[in-house]
């Protein structure tokens, strides 16, 4: 079983993430141009009056003329924040922003968080009720029981959009999916299981309800809370929702209830379950310890006493993550797409069954590879899909939308379900996905990465973050006393890191000899090589990689790219017959573009441009994109013959002769490359079948300027420069790189050291 080896993130890192740049995790961006006076006249007064009047006449047109149909409000009063209790409305905001970004990331739903500062049920209901028309749906979050039951019920009656309490139904759907499969794997019929649900709050009651809908007899469920068993006749700490699960029994404690049971579902608090209780359960017990952030009992504690158990938690660092993140984004995606008036039982059951069925399917290679080290094969350690499975966005919303149509709550039924599934596929950005999968693959195969500029504070922080993220062992080059001083200044004096001081390293002689063998016919004496090994940390770091003492290296914040590159190249060669070049990956919501060569060749000739195109196309494929390569210029297809466009035309001829297996064309200007309608209208002969996603620049001036302008001025995410084509993995960041940039570069270098 995979176990969490360390605390994956430190408190400091979590605070830094939330406070860095624009504080928080969300921003709102316009979808229409607002540049000219005409834009303003259309989007605002007078143009805006027209849709207002249409909506007043026919409210359903709000879905056509406003963003309503894709917005879900994530609303809380902070009375049950995760398992942390009543922290109040404001303190719940990080979780609500978090849920909003998960909506966006996993299902392209625009989530917006609202923290309502009242514990009064009537006030809360009134507030949400009157805000309701603004949204396509309402996701209630972290509201304590029993208030959450009353709030949800009343809002469902008052509003004609889906109102869904995530902690109830999101959790119940995922737990039900896990239960279906755990029963299947242990050979149980869901109708026969004896179950204890510990926690009689929002999540516990809703899970028990959905389990009964799925076939578990009500009398087979024993509900427990802080007062023990919820039995018939109990009066202490009761409410009508608990009463509906009160059973006739002599048992009074969790310990008594659990003895002999098949299933334990914990939705209570850390440590509520003990190893003794686990021992007393039936053969092949099913244990869902779902309290967040710490479960009722850890998988290690369970396995120590019962190796035959199937265990799930709410955490991402153990197998079998039963967490509502697998549910709410996709439930709402499906519901919004058919303009559902509600999310009903049929839609929940459809989602649970779709999740359960997906876990039984063969896992795609890229997901499997990313989680290697874990067994992603249907069985005791894989009863539920993993959150980064790209099939979820297609499978679950489609099942939910279909159920909505079948039960008559879809205001806009989908006619072409296959077309709908295709459109779902395109909602996610494959690069964000593939980057995540790359990082997961490194976590599953941790690597030793040398951080050459080991005395720099940013580097030390990145090294700590690299290790904390589970990517492997960071190795710092520098003087131990200086690094320790830095650590102390950072409040991390007790922390130990592997440090190599080049000057006094045991490997010094071996590295000098190796370097001398490479450089003796390039004018260097042994003593020159010794000096380089002693004094130059990039050379030393590269030697560690070249000599197999580390898997990869990262550098760049103290030297310009050119200097760092030259130092590394003294030690590491290019791959045979491949050019070394720099690549930036620019990600925006609707497209991902790879730009090359942004760092190495100042005036590439035709051959080099063709080689760069081939290398960049291969990288695009590795990142999940089918490459469409454009060789860029100021000129389109011979429009302005000029010596500067000759290498581009030559490159096209070379690619023609080499019969490469990807689409390419040029020379063309950037607007033509990126605007497919313009391309087809003006240059219908162009061989690209869509807008270009790999841009090969004619020279370093334009490439480097483009990458930096986009990074500074455009609203997207830039990854890079990635150094492509070296025989051993090394990455050079820019001098202004952040700690996060360094960690990403180190992880990408680590990934390059893995066999493909």
Binding mask 64-93 for ligand PYR (x = CB under 6 A): ------------------x-----------
**Identified binder of Mg ion from the candidate list 97, 147, 167, 567, rule CB under 5 A:** 167
As to burial, measured by CB atoms within 10 angstroms (0-12 exposed, 13-18 middle, 19+ buried), residue 235 is exposed
Spatial distance between the Cα atoms of 542 and 551, rounded to a whole number of angstroms = 10
44 among known catalytic residues = yes
Under the binding rule (CB under 6 A), the answer on residue 139 touching ligand PYR is no
Q: Which two tokens stand for residue 647?
A: 């290498």
From candidates 291, 297, 546, 629, binder to ligand NDP by CB under 6 A: 291
Here the tokens at position 611 are 């080689």
Could you tell me the two tokens for 618?
A: 């291969």
Using CB under 6 A, which residues numbered 63 to 102 contact ligand NDP?
Answer: 80, 82-83
Given the residues 7, 25, 32, 44, select the one marked as catalytic: 44
Check binding of 292 to ligand PYR (CB under 6 A). Answer: yes
When the beta carbons of 99 and 242 are compared against Mg ion, the nearer one is 99
Residue 571 Ramachandran class (φ > 0 left, ψ -120 to 50 alpha, else beta)? alpha
- Count CA atoms within 13 Å of residue 161 on its CB side: 26
Q: What stretches of 536-643 show up as alpha helix (H) in DSSP?
A: 537-546, 561-569, 606-622
Find the binder of ligand NDP among 198, 508, 534, 645 (CB under 6 A): 198
* C-beta closer to ligand PYR: residue 314 or 380: 314
> How many helices and strands in the chain, by DSSP H and E?
31, 21
CA dist list (Å): 35 to 30, 40, 463, 642, 671: 11, 7, 43, 35, 18
Q: Residue 367 contacts by C-beta under 8 Å, 6 or more apart in sequence? A: 376, 386, 388, 389, 390, 437
Q: Sort 421 into a burial class: Cβ within 10 Å, 0-12 / 13-18 / 19+.
A: middle
Q: Contact with ligand NDP (CB under 6 A): which of 323, 512, 598, 636?
A: 323
d(CA 29, CA 588): 12
**Residue 224 binding: pick among ligand NDP, Mg ion, ligand PYR, none (C-beta 5-8 Å cut-off by kind):** ligand NDP
643 backbone dihedrals φ, ψ, rounded to 5°: -55, -30
Which of 332/420 has CB closer to Mg ion?
Answer: 332
203 binds ligand NDP (CB under 6 A): yes
What is the size of the binding site for ligand PYR (CB under 6 A)?
8
Radius of gyration over alpha carbons of the chain, in Å?
29
Give 252 or 708: the residue with its C-beta nearer to ligand NDP.
Answer: 252
Give the binding range for ligand NDP (CB under 6 A) out of 152-160, 318-326, 402-410, 666-674: 318-326
Query: Which of 76, 77, 92, 171 touches ligand NDP by CB under 6 A?
Result: 171
Window 440-479: residues binding ligand NDP (CB under 6 A): none
What does 252 bind: Mg ion, ligand NDP, ligand PYR, none (CB cut-off 5 to 8 Å by kind)? Answer: none
Residue 238 to residue 240: CA distance in whole angstroms: 7
Concatenating the DSSP letter of every residue in 508-519 gives: HHHHHHHHHHHH
Residues within window 134-153 making contact with Mg ion, judged by CB under 5 A: 142
Smallest gap from residue 327 Cβ to ligand NDP (A): 8
198 binds ligand PYR (CB under 6 A): no
Return the DSSP state at 118: -
- The residue (of 386 and 583) whose beta carbon lies closer to ligand PYR is 386
Nearest distance, CB of residue 396 and ligand NDP, angstroms: 15
Q: By CB under 6 A, is residue 269 in contact with ligand NDP?
A: yes
Contact mark string toward ligand PYR, 309..348, x via CB under 6 A: -----x--------xx------------------------
User: How many CB atoms lie under 10 A from the CB of residue 591?
Assistant: 15
Catalytic residue among 93, 99, 441, 728: 99
Whole-number Cα distances in Å, 579 to 415, 610, 746: 50, 10, 21
| 384 in contact with ligand NDP (CB under 6 A) | no
> Cβ of residue 38: shortest distance to ligand NDP, in angstroms?
48
Pairwise CA distance, residues 404 & 399, whole Å: 9
For binding to ligand PYR (CB under 6 A), which residues are involved? 82, 142, 166-167, 292, 314, 323-324
Active site residues: 44, 99
For binding to ligand NDP (CB under 6 A), which residues are involved? 80, 82-83, 144-145, 167, 171, 198-204, 224-227, 237, 267-269, 272, 290-292, 314, 322-324
């Amino acid at each position: 079983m995979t176990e969490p080896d360390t605390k994956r993130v430190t408190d400091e890192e979590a605070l830094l993430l939330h406070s860095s740049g624009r504080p928080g995790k969300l921003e709102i961006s316009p979808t229409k141009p607002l540049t000219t006076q005409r834009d303003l006249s259309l989007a605002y007064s007078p143009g805006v009056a027209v849709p207002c009047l249409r909506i007043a006449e026919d409210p359903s047109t709000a879905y056509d003329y406003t963003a309503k149909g894709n917005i879900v409000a994530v609303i809380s009063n902070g009375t049950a924040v995760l398992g942390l209790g009543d922290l109040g409305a404001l303190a719940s905001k990080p979780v609500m922003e978090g849920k909003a970004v998960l909506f966006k990331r996993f299902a392209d739903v625009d989530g917006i968080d609202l923290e309502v500062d009242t514990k009064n049920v009537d006030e809360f209901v009134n507030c949400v009720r009157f805000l309701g028309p603004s949204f396509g749906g309402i996701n209630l979050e972290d509201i304590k029981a029993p208030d959450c039951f009353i709030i949800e019920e009343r809002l469902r009656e008052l509003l004609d959009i889906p109102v869904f309490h995530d902690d109830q139904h999101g959790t119940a759907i995922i737990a039900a999916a896990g239960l279906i499969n755990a029963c299947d794997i242990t050979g149980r019929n869901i109708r026969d299981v004896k179950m204890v649900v510990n926690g009689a709050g929002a999540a516990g009651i809703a899970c028990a309800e959905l389990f009964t809908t799925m076939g578990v007899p009500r009398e087979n469920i024993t509900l427990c809370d802080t007062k023990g068993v919820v039995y018939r006749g109990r009066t202490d700490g009761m409410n009508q929702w608990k009463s509906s699960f009160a059973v006739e029994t002599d048992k009074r404690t969790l310990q008594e209830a659990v003895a002999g049971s098949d299933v334990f579902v914990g939705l209570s608090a850390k440590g509520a379950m003990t190893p003794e209780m686990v021992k007393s359960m039936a053969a092949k017990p099913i244990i869902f310890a779902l309290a967040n952030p710490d479960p009722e009992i850890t998988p290690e504690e369970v396995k120590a006493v019962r190796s035959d158990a199937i265990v799930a938690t709410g955490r991402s660092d153990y197998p079998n993550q039963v967490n509502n993140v697998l549910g709410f984004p996709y439930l709402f995606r499906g519901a919004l797409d058919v303009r559902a008036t509600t999310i009903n039982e049929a839609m929940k059951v459809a989602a649970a069954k779709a999740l359960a069925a997906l876990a039984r399917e063969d896992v795609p290679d890229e997901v499997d590879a990313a989680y290697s080290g874990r067994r992603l094969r249907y069985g005791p350690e894989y009863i539920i899909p993993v959150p980064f499975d790209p099939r979820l966005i297609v499978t679950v919303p489609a099942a939910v939308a279909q159920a909505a149509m079948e039960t008559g709550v879809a205001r806009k039924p989908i006619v072409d379900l296959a077309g709908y599934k295709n459109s779902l596929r395109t909602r996610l950005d494959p690069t964000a996905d593939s980057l995540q999968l790359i990082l997961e693959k490194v976590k599953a195969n941790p690597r030793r990465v040398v951080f050459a500029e080991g005395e720099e504070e940013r580097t030390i922080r990145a090294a700590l973050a690299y290790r904390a993220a589970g990517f492997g062992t960071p190795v710092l080059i520098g003087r131990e006393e200086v690094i320790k001083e830095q650590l102390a200044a950072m409040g991390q004096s007790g922390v130990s890191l592997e440090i190599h001081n080049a000057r006094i390293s045991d490997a010094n002689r071996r590295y000098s000899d190796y370097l001398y063998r490479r450089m003796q016919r390039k004018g260097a004496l042994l003593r020159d090589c010794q000096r380089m090994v002693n004094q130059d940390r990039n050379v030393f770091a590269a030697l560690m990689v070249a000599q197999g003492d580390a898997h990869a290296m990262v550098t760049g914040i103290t030297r310009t790219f050119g200097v760092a590159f030259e130092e590394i190249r003294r030690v590491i060669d290019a791959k045979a017959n491949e050019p070394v070049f720099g690549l930036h990956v620019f990600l925006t919501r609707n497209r991902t573009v790879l730009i090359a060569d942004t760092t190495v060749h100042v005036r590439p000739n035709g051959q080099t441009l063709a080689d760069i195109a081939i290398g960049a196309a291969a990288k695009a494929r590795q990142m999940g994109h089918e490459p469409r390569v454009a060789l860029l210029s100021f000129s389109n297809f011979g429009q302005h013959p000029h010596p500067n466009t000759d290498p581009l035309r030559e490159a096209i001829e070379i690619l023609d002769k080499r019969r490469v297996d990807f689409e390419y064309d040029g020379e063309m200007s950037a607007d033509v490359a990126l605007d497919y309608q313009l391309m087809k209208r003006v240059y219908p002969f162009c061989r690209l079948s869509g807008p270009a996603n790999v841009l090969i620049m004619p020279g370093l001036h334009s490439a480097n300027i483009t990458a930096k302008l986009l990074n500074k001025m455009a609203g997207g995410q830039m990854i890079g420069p990635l150094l492509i084509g070296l025989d051993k993995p090394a990455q050079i960041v820019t001098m202004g790189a952040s700690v996060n940039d360094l960690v990403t570069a180190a992880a990408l270098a680590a990934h390059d050291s893995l066999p493909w």
